[in-house]
Structure 1
Amino acid sequence: MKIGLIYPQTELRGDPAAARTIALAAEELGFDYLLAYDHVVGASHDREPKLTGPYTEHHPFHDPLVMFSHVAALTKRLEFATGVLILPQRQTALVARQAADVDLLSGGRLTLGVGTGWNYVEYDVLGQDFTTRGKRMDEQIALLRQLWTEALVSFDGAFDQIDRAALNPRPRRQIPILLGGFAEVALRRAARVGDGFIFADGAADAFGQLTRLRELLSEGGRGSEPFELRCNMLRPKAAQDVGETARRWAEAGGTHAAISTMGLGHTSAEQHLDYAAEALAAVSACR
């Protein structure tokens, strides 16, 4: 099972040096991948309808694909995962181009985790319809794969139309597309069209969701196919508890588990890394 580190950008005040520091240290410590969340803008919650998510205009976020392109040049083997990119608020062909370039320039180290998000203000800012986000993402996933593999693409969808155009250069492989979310609809979408799923244990019960996802994969005839099962370990705080969660996830058949250093009062990249190293040692001890 691969072990990742969640980039704690909401607690690093947008410090550009922190991205370099944490990526280089993560590779040196032996982490397999770096995962980053995504929000284009934050918004005040003083509005109707109410926003339901945890972030406001006060929480800093780097664009994960831009950040990954930067730190990929500084690292050699560290893999990168968006966890998750809010796909339906973005132009599909532009995401295809950006993801292809990150994957090409990093030597095939990108996994694209995608989801529908919760912040309708972001959709408004980016000129997209929040109410059709699920249907649009279904179409986008199919189009991304087509753009990454075909020399000339024609596509006539409900949301995107392409008349004999192409990405050039294309990635040298089919970039894995993973789904993420907390609701049944996210699990169903992953079982239909995903290469894997990113669970958020703490925001939801990852172990319970894993059982349900396996049922859906079996019902869809995909029970024996390769499928990534990634767990963002948000619930455990003590390093030993992180190790125990990782052990349980591996025993359950999980393929990846990511350590979170957030919510513990750390105020510097160095403090986050000290805890990350301690938690990684606990994971290794529990294997």
Structure 2
Amino acid sequence: MDYAIALPFGGPGVVDPEWVGEFARHAESCGFESLVAAEHSVMVSGTSSTYPYSPDGRLPVVPDCPVPDPLELLSFLAARTATIGLATGVLILPHHHPVVLAKRAATLDALSGGRLRLCVGVGWLREETEACGVDFATRGRRADEQVRVLRTLWSHDGPEGATHEGEFFRFERVLCRPRPRRATGIPLHFGGHSTAAARRAGRYGDGFQPLGVEGAELTRLAGVMRDEAERYGRDPDALELSLYRGLGELTAEEAAGLADLGVHRIVLQTGAGAEADLERHKDAMSACAARLFADRALPRRDVPGRDVPGRDVPGRATAR
């Protein structure tokens, strides 16, 4: 089991370089596997769209709160840390041109030593998607094609360049360099709560990060992912399953139970915006690490393609 830390969403701390840099360094020193940054390309005042992850259908932050671009934020934190993973959760794929996104993501992955993981989704906020110039009704088909474009550009080898002819994107003899540090490209996980999201994870992804689902529905969606992987000739056992939990709520016993159910990663949410006192966040991370990691020494793991002389690499936090 890996334990990731979700960066606080909203509040001035996420755009304060010293605040968010120290937050990230402390998470790394505690032994957490990765930092996870969420995305909203724009916030919308007076939206009629329903937020699917709260009982009242409202996003639990004010629309004028600062929400930095996740890749820019992770690039900044890559320079402030040494080994902790860098992940999006969730990057709204239809808002990005895939040729440009392929270059941005590969650059961050190369310069961070292969630390990037992309968790992507299709988005729920119609007005936001339309502000980005994208037809909300076609965002699912667009996302499917975008994934194919990313995979093509990251994997293509040879001087002749890659060619793609699709419904939304077309190019000929294109080369995207630098390439990601891993030969298999940047890991792509899919977030969401729908059957379509689970199918995308099985068909195209390296993992599934369902939001707002538990119990029988979670089991059903995980089964959909595995069935879709088998249908497309992929190994379902190679796909990761990540869940969200509260930083102060998860116990070692619950984590062990989730690991037994096949969960690979838990993304821990701080439960408070970045307006909270930094020391409070650091204390909460330290307490969580002590609670989850207390029964053993952290094993060490190497970051692909990266050597950090004289530095220990934070270990994978394995539930027992």
Bigger mean CA offset, 247-256 vs 127-136: 247-256
Helix, strand or coil at the partner of 2:40: coil
Offset at residue 220 of structure 1 (A): 4.1
For residues 281 and 120 of structure 1, do their structure 2 counterparts lie closer, same or farther at Cα, with a shift above 3 Å needed?
same
Q: Which residue of 1 aligns with 2:35?
A: 34
How does 1:1-287 map onto structure 2 within 5 Å? Answer: 1-13=1-13, 14-44=15-45, 46-48=46-48, 52=57, 54=59, 55-151=61-157, 152-173=161-182, 174-200=185-211, 203-205=212-214, 208-218=217-227, 220-221=229-230, 222=234, 224-234=236-246, 238-239=248-249, 241-263=250-272, 267-285=276-294, 287=320
Task: Using the TM superposition, give the Cα deviation of residue 161 of structure 1 relative to its aligned residue in structure 2, in angstroms.
Answer: 0.7
**What's the TM-score once normalised by structure 2's chain length?**
0.80
**In the TM superposition, what whole-angstrom CA distance separates every residue of 1:149-192 from its partner, at most 9, and x where no partner exists?**
11411111111111211112222321110000011211121111
Deviation at 1:59, TM superposition (A): 3.0
Whether the 8 Å CA contact 1:243–1:280 is kept in 2: the answer is no
Give the AA of the match of 1:37: A
Deviation at 1:206, TM superposition (A): 6.5
Aligned alpha-carbon RMSD (Å)? 2.3
Query: Structure 2 CA distance, aligned partners of 1:11 and 1:75?
Result: 22
Q: 1:27 to 1:42 in 2, by over 3 A?
A: same
Instruction: Give the Cα separation in 2 of the matches to 1:9 and 1:184.
Output: 26
Q: Are the equivalent residues in 1 in contact too, given 2:107–2:180 (CA < 8 A)?
A: yes
What stretches of structure 1 move > 3 A for 4+ residues in a row?
11-14, 47-53, 222-225, 241-245, 263-266
User: How far apart, CA to CA, are the structure 2 residues paired with 1:161 and 1:53?
Assistant: 37
Alignment gaps of 5+ in structure 2: 52-56, 295-318
TM-aligned CA deviation for residue 245 of structure 1: 3.2
Post-superposition offset of 1:7: 0.4
CA gap of 1:259–1:242, structure 2 versus 1, over 3 A, is farther
- The answer to whether the 8 Å contact 2:109/2:116 transfers is yes
Alpha carbons 1:33, 1:78 under 8 Å: kept: yes
The answer (yes or no) to whether the contact 1:11–1:262 under 8 Å persists in 2 is no
- CA change 1:53–1:197 in 2 (3 A) is farther
1: CA distance, partners of 2:274 / 2:106: 36
Measure, in 2, the Cα distance between the counterparts of 1:168 and 1:15.
31
One-letter amino acid of the structure 2 residue matched with residue 178 of structure 1: H
- Whether the aligned pair in 1 keeps the contact of 2:39 and 2:70 (CA below 8 Å) is yes
How many equivalent pairs are there? 281
Cα pair distance change 1:206/1:277, threshold 3 Å: farther
Checking the alignment, whether the CA contact within 8 Å between 2:163 and 2:170 is kept in structure 1 is yes
CA deviation after TM superposition for structure 1 residue 144, in Å = 0.1
Displacement after TM superposition at 1:17 (Å): 2.3
